[in-house]
Amino acid sequence: MKLNELDIVQAAEGLKKGEFSSVDLTQVCLEVIKKLNPEINAFITITEDLALNQAKESDARRKMGNSRGILDGIPVAIKDNIAVKDYPTTAASKILENYITVEDAFVIKKLKEAGAVILGKTNLDEFACGGSTETSYFETTKNPIDHSRVPGGSSGGSAAAVAADMCIYAIGSDTGGSIRQPASYCGIVGLKPTYGAVSRNGLFAMASSLDQIGPLTKTVEDAFIVLKELAKYDEKDSTSNKKGEETIQKIVDLKGVKGLKVGILKQGKVANVQAGIKNDLEKAVQKLKAAGAQVTELNLPILDYALAVYYILMPVEVSSNLGRYDGIKYGYSVALLRDATEGQASSKETVARNLEEVYFKTRAEGFGDEVKRRIMLGAYASSAGYFDQYYLKAQKVRAIIKKEIDDAFKKFDCLLLPTTPTTAFKISEKTKDPIMMYLEDIFTVPANIAGIPGISVPFGKEGNLPFGIQVLGPEFGEEKLLNVAKALEEADG
């Protein structure tokens, strides 16, 4: 096995035994990135100097007997909407093309404290708005398994980087499925923690009431290891919840599913789910039963409203959060025309005659079509006259969905659904029809709406294309969820 193909547990073992150094491991990953990235386009920025310095420091610590634990010296890729100090964070938008980050995100601080080696920043849909990475200003990422297909999104670069063994693991963000869906399309593990378990400080906000950071890994065990590092209370994020740290730090190991009650959601069996996925969901049920879980079917009709609720609430929050990119505070700016001489020196398109035009032109030129679509939808749904009809109504339905899901967890330890209705689709297949694109999120958005954890575990294949099965757990029920996920992983194949 080549060094870049190792998972976290294997890489940590090799480092501990002195079979190779962190610099060796990092160099191999960087070589693979340089070889594959021109085709796959998983990375927007490669932070080679940072990675090699961190690797050297890690090796020096290890030599002195001061290793910081399992993640020390292990290379990671970071989604480019998460702040890494002194390097660009673009959110895959022209509006932040030349923006250099001034501070580390909370999760980056934690990873650095753990000795992580940061290889670079990965591609995504612009401001995480999408499910294919096709809305990135920096061009689409290709699925490493089939280059004519999307890797999913919005954390498509992170998923592709892990699947192509360009890194050992990656970090992504999930607002409506952006960790789980690309994990499913690329055949890896993706975990969205409970809302509030991981700090959002330093994550460039998409929809703040739904956003959550989490790991994309090669195994369930690795997802557990990274989650433990990330799930720490942060007083600087008002939605950071101490319960996350308390419950997650208590998990010692994954003990299996004996006696756990798993509910299989009827939605996973409806007509528009690809046949192979439906069949394998059935297989998953049998395997979980064989491993000692009690599995029964469950009907939660309210979930049929989740996608509609998401596509009202999310754009409203997007339109509010993206208001800060106005050409004044940071990022791309259309300059203000001050006098005639300056005006002659600049091209007409990039100057504005007054402040309003600075805002207007900066945003018109700086944002892509999908982001603009969401800003417009969100502004509409929250405007006077429509607020009650759309935003308020969606909030009410969100509360009902949350209550019914929480009630279901009084009877079940975990719920099971496919991660996506299909396997990875062709590049350009859905770009002309946003609704078709949005429908891919049908099984992932309920977890964000209810704030519960969800994980996608690779389970089967249709042809050569992998897909995942999704396990949902109760709020702060990551332990149960990881146990069921592990059982599914062991049953795979």
Active site residues: 79, 154, 178
Q: Which is it for strands 454-462 and 351-352: parallel, antiparallel or unpaired?
A: unpaired
Residue 18 half-sphere exposure toward CB, CA atoms < 13 A: 5
Q: How far is the CB of 180 from ligand GLN (least distance, A)?
A: 9
Residue 130 or 458: which CB sits closer to ligand GLN? 130
Query: Taking CB under 6 A as the rule, does residue 453 contact ligand GLN?
Result: no
Single residue of 143, 175, 217, 456 touching ligand GLN by CB under 6 A: 175
Site residues for ligand GLN, 300-329, by CB under 6 A, read 314
Give CA separation, 212 vs 114, 195, 324, in Å: 20, 6, 20
How far apart CA 220 and CA 224 sit, in angstroms, is 6
Q: How far is the CB of 178 from ligand GLN (least distance, A)?
A: 3
Query: Taking CB under 6 A as the rule, does residue 178 contact ligand GLN?
Result: yes
Q: Which two tokens stand for residue 359?
A: 């805002």
Single residue of 30, 129, 162, 307 touching ligand GLN by CB under 6 A: 129
**Bond into 347 cis (ω within 30):** no
Residue 122 or 154: which CB sits closer to ligand GLN? 154
Indicate the angle between helix axes 306-321 and 369-381, nearest 10 degrees.
100
Q: Which two tokens stand for residue 234?
A: 């942060």
Residue 391 or 412: which CB sits closer to ligand GLN? 391
**Distance, C-alpha 80 to centroid of its chain:** 11
Residue 384 or 435: which CB sits closer to ligand GLN? 435
Chain residue whose CB lies nearest ligand GLN: 178
Site string for ligand GLN, 155-174 (x = CB under 6 A): -------------------x
Single residue of 14, 73, 75, 131 touching ligand GLN by CB under 6 A: 131
Query: Taking CB under 6 A as the rule, does residue 128 contact ligand GLN?
Result: yes
Site residues for ligand GLN, 37-96, by CB under 6 A, read none
Query: Taking CB under 6 A as the rule, does residue 206 contact ligand GLN?
Result: yes
Give me the amino acid identity at 381.
A
Query: Stretches 122-130, 240-248, 357-365, 376-384: which one binds ligand GLN (CB under 6 A)?
Result: 122-130
Q: How far is the CB of 429 from ligand GLN (least distance, A)?
A: 15
H helices of 236-332, where? Answer: 242-250, 275-290, 306-321
As beta bridge partners, residue 170 has 77, 216
Query: Taking CB under 6 A as the rule, does residue 190 contact ligand GLN?
Result: no
Give CA separation, 107 vs 103, 130, 166, 299, in Å: 11, 23, 21, 37
Q: Are 22 and 59 in contact (CB under 8 A)?
A: yes
Q: How many CB atoms lie within 10 A of CB 410?
A: 7
Residue 307 or 487: which CB sits closer to ligand GLN? 307
Query: Taking CB under 6 A as the rule, does residue 441 contact ligand GLN?
Result: yes
| Count of positions on this chain that bind ligand GLN (CB under 6 A) | 13
How far apart CA 411 and CA 360 sit, in angstroms, is 52
Residue 72 or 441: which CB sits closer to ligand GLN? 441
Q: How far is the CB of 231 from ligand GLN (least distance, A)?
A: 19
Q: Are 77 and 84 in contact (CB under 8 A)?
A: no
How far apart CA 191 and CA 59 sit, in angstroms, is 29
Interacting residues toward ligand GLN by CB under 6 A = 128-131, 154, 174-178, 206, 314, 441
